[in-house]
Amino acid sequence: MELKASEIQKQRIKEIETRANELVDSSIIMFVTSINEKGYPRTCCVNKLHSKGFRDIYFVTSKRSEKQGKAKHFETNTKSSICFRHEGDSLTMVGDVELIINKTEMQVLWNENDKAFFPKGIDDPKIRFFHFHTLEATFWINQKFRTVKYGKSTIT
């Protein structure tokens, strides 16, 4: 039985998504872009705290400034981009970030290594946990390029 072209495309996307999940799962460092107060993109290197594949990624940052920085940017504009790279593969996603305020979820995400930045742990007034939701992903995996759009964000 011969597969239809649409079934072949779905299979190829599933394969590339599986590899992208492996890429994210094996990565610690990622690049996060926020939109600054003047409307320009600002990219920073941060540690990934946790992920559920490439569609849901969690990270922490500090709100040290009331005027600038990732946390302040995300308060006014939830649009973001995250990028991973390993060897010849890369993954760039666009989506929205959501501030996590649930203490139980924050405790699950907490990393003791962050105590140097946040001495009071999850109760530190400057700590901000974020959840990135992928809306579109551009894959360069195994020398194959593809962009896939996903469902709309639930973030308002």
Compute CA distances 61 → 5, 10, 65, 99, whole Å: 44, 36, 12, 11
- Structure tokens given for 112: 């003791």
Rounded CA separation 86/105 (Å): 29
Rounded CA separation 24/36 (Å): 26
31 vs 155, residue with greater confidence: 31
**Does 46 map to a domain?**
yes
Tell me, letter by letter, the H, E, C secondary structure of the chain. CCCCHHHHHHHHHHHHHHHHHHHHHHCCEEEEEEECCCCCEEEEEEEEEEEECECEEEEEEECCCCCCCHHHHHHHCCEEEEEEEECCEEEEEEEEEEEECCHHHHHHHCCHHHHHCCCCHHHCCCEEEEEEEEEEEEEEECCEEEEEECCCCCCC
Rounded CA separation 69/75 (Å): 10
**Does 107 map to a domain?**
yes
pLDDT-derived band at 4, boundaries 50, 70, 90: confident
CB atoms under 10 Å from CB of 80, counted, come to: 24
Q: pLDDT digits over 15-44, tens only?
A: 999 999 999 999 999 999 999 989 999 999
Q: pLDDT digits over 120-132, tens only?
A: 999 999 999 999 9
Domain count, the chain: 1
Q: What is the pLDDT of residue 64?
A: 75
CATH for 23: 2.30.110.10
- In this structure, are residues 16 and 139 in contact, taking their beta carbons and an 8 Å threshold? yes
**Does 154 map to a domain?**
no
Rounded CA separation 62/144 (Å): 36
**Does 120 map to a domain?**
yes
Owning domain of residue 112: 5-149
**Does 104 map to a domain?**
yes
**Does 101 map to a domain?**
yes
